Amino acid sequence: MQISVQSDPFDFGALAQEFADGHTHMGAVVTFTGIVRDDDLGGLDVMEIEHYPGMTERAITKFAAYAKDRWDLGDVLVIHRHGALKPGEMIMMVATAARHRVNAFEAAEYLMDYLKSRAPFWKKEYVNGEPRWVNAKPEDEDALSRWD
């Protein structure tokens, strides 16, 4: 299990390759990468991601351990960045390894849903120089109930 909360960029290709290597019993590896999206026709200057040091690592570790157990994962990786990010930069990545693809996909989706609404990160966008906090969406909260 690899968990990292960091401001530095990460090398998605190298991490995905390293994660996929050496599994002789895991037939499926799923990776997901989240990218800073500009919804404002080039207006997004920067996205600042704030987090709660300590609780963030603790929460992600808890979700990853739960996913590993529930979907019988061979391995799991979560990387999430904080700090100032530009449109097109990678914010986070999740990787799951399971015997079969259904488990790998479901575990990755579970992790994404929980990272979105239960890991203590807050996004602030600067659009054309104006700051605004990104609001949580009701549908993101609703998405959690499918894992009950």
Partner 1 sequence: MITLLYFAWVRERIGLPKETVETTATTVKELVEELRARDERYAVAFSDLASLRVAIDQDLVDFDAPLTGAKEVAFFPPMTGG
Instruction: Specify the residue for token string 């488990």.
Output: 103
Beta-bridge mates of residue 127? 44, 130
Binding residues among 3-32 for partner 1 as defined by CB under 8 A: none
Q: What are phi and psi of 140, to 5 degrees?
A: -70, -40
Tokens of 63: 């979700």
Encoded one letter per residue, x for contact with partner 1 by CB under 8 A and - for no contact, window 58-87 reads: xx--------------------x-------
Q: Of these, 6, 141, 142, 146, which contacts partner 1 (CB under 8 A)? A: 141
In the complex with partner 1, the residue whose CB is nearer, 68 or 82, is 82
120 lines the binding site for partner 1 (CB under 8 A): yes
Judge whether 80 and 119 are in contact, CB under 8 Å: yes
Name which position in 20, 30, 45, 118 contacts partner 1 (CB under 8 A): 118
The region of 19-27, 37-45, 65-73, 120-128 touching partner 1 under the rule CB under 8 A is 120-128
Please enumerate in sequence order all residues whose Cβ is within 8 A of that of 110, keeping only pairs 6 or more positions apart, or say none.
Answer: 63, 67, 70, 71, 147
Structure token digits, residue 116 = 């979105």
Q: Can you list the positions of beta strands (E) in the chain?
A: 2-6, 28-35, 44-51, 75-81, 83-85, 90-98, 121-127, 130-133
If one asks whether residue 124 binds partner 1 (CB under 8 A), the answer comes out as yes
133 binds partner 1 (CB under 8 A): yes
Q: Least Å distance between CB 142 and partner 1?
A: 13
State the residues that interact with partner 1 by CB under 8 A.
34, 50, 52, 54-55, 58-59, 80, 91-92, 112, 115-124, 133-136, 141
